[in-house]
Structure 1
Amino acid sequence: MSRSDPARVFGQTAETPGRAATPPIDGPVPSVHLRLKQATRLDHETVDQAMSGFDLTDRDAYGAFLQLNHTAMIALRPHWRAADAVDFDALVEALAADLAALGLRPSPPADPLAGRIDGLGLSYVVRGSRLGSRILRRRVGPGLPTAYLDLRLGEPWARLLDQLTARGTADPDDTTALIAGARATFAVYERLARPMAAAA
């Protein structure tokens, strides 16, 4: 089975154009975005490694990839921000359409998540994952449906970065819940990906 490049499966693989690169350790205090990125780096890499087991040229493996993403979005839905609902509902609908085109049904719902996940931290992970969608789209086998990977979100990534900045400006110390929310979101994908990728 061929495998995807794990460094590019889950998006957020390059600096956003027009945004400053990582400053030196003895430089200015890192932005909220940079602190979040650094704090979740290992979580991101773990998910990328787990997701790399899906061969998107294979119909069955690609179907499992879509089911995983659908299951994750449904599990996370109670924790979405209202501001994300339109875009995230569109992702769920696109996933359902692709699954239907493959003659597949969504996987059974995952167990409910314990506690509350910070919505902005969740949004950082889900919206960040879309940055790699064009790369993944090129790896999909011919004739397979791609509504999910083709979908462009209405809210740009730069707006999410502005929201992170605004939150850091309002309370520079309020990063614990944000980081925990992002890590919890990565954990949902990792927990679902490992057994499904192994089966695929």
Structure 2
Amino acid sequence: METVGSADERKNSALAELRHVSRKAHEAVDEAFSRFELADPQSYGAFLTAHARVLVGAEAYLSRHASSVPAWRPRAELLKDDLRQMGLAVPAVQADCFPENDGTAMGVLYVLEGSRLGGRVLSGRVSEGLPRAYLSAFHQKGEWPAFLERLGRYLDESDAVSRQAVTEGAVATFALFRKSAGLQD
């Protein structure tokens, strides 16, 4: 779930602050998922299961806020298909984890869109023959910078309460992923 700083973040202090404040939570997720060996089918299946437990519910939440967040491409069905191809069940979803707030939704989307960057790196670690549609759902050209621009604008135009909701949404999403990784054997 690697996110990368950019010139847009350096120009936008609110965006840089979001990244700074959520960094520890992000690093905790990276550490929690680092134990999974993606070349090993069993470990990779556990990795996908941990992601599904959070991603499916987070995307359902974002769907309820579709009119207030930038356009995004869901990956839940890709993840479910990868699990099914491996003969694994789709886990129970952590639903209703977030307050119904547009700022929170922007924070959730920040984490999910940032995870696509990590997926680009991680997909290369998956053994040949294992499904990798979820991790291979990279950003299309210009999507990440456009998202960061939109998020930066939202942060700049919002009051302190809304900006805090974005941060809380991002940190809560990272925490859910970290917890889910810990639930896997």
Alignment TM-score > 0.5, same fold: yes
- The normalised TM-score by structure 2 is 0.85
| Correspondence 1:59 to 2:41 | yes
| Correspondence 1:104 to 2:88 | yes
Task: Give the aligned partner of residue 127 of structure 1.
Answer: 113
- CA distance in 1 between counterparts of 2:137 and 2:18 reads 26
Residues 156-183 of structure 1 show CA distances to partners (whole Å, capped at 9, x for unaligned) of: 1112111122113323634211101111
Aligned 8 A contact 2:70 2:150 in 1: no
Choose which of 149, 167, 178 in structure 2 pairs with 1:162. Answer: 149
Task: Give the aligned partner of residue 26 of structure 1.
Answer: none
Task: Give the aligned partner of residue 6 of structure 1.
Answer: none
Give the structure with higher Rg (CA): 1
Aligned 8 A contact 2:59 2:76 in 1: no
Q: Match of 1:178, as an amino acid? A: V
| Secondary structure of 1:149's aligned partner | coil
Q: CA deviation at 1:114?
A: 5.6
- The normalised TM-score by structure 1 is 0.79
How much identity, in percent, do the aligned residues show?
31
Aligned 8 A contact 2:9 2:16 in 1: no
Task: Give the aligned partner of residue 97 of structure 2.
Answer: 113
Aligned 8 A contact 1:87 1:153 in 2: no
Residues 72-125 of structure 1 show CA distances to partners (whole Å, capped at 9, x for unaligned) of: 11222343131567512xx11111111111111111223542633611100100
CA RMSD of aligned residues (A): 2.3
Q: CA deviation at 1:135?
A: 1.1
Long gaps (5+) in structure 2: none
Long gaps (5+) in structure 1: 1-9, 24-29
Aligned 8 A contact 1:32 1:164 in 2: no
- CA distance in 1 between counterparts of 2:136 and 2:150 reads 25
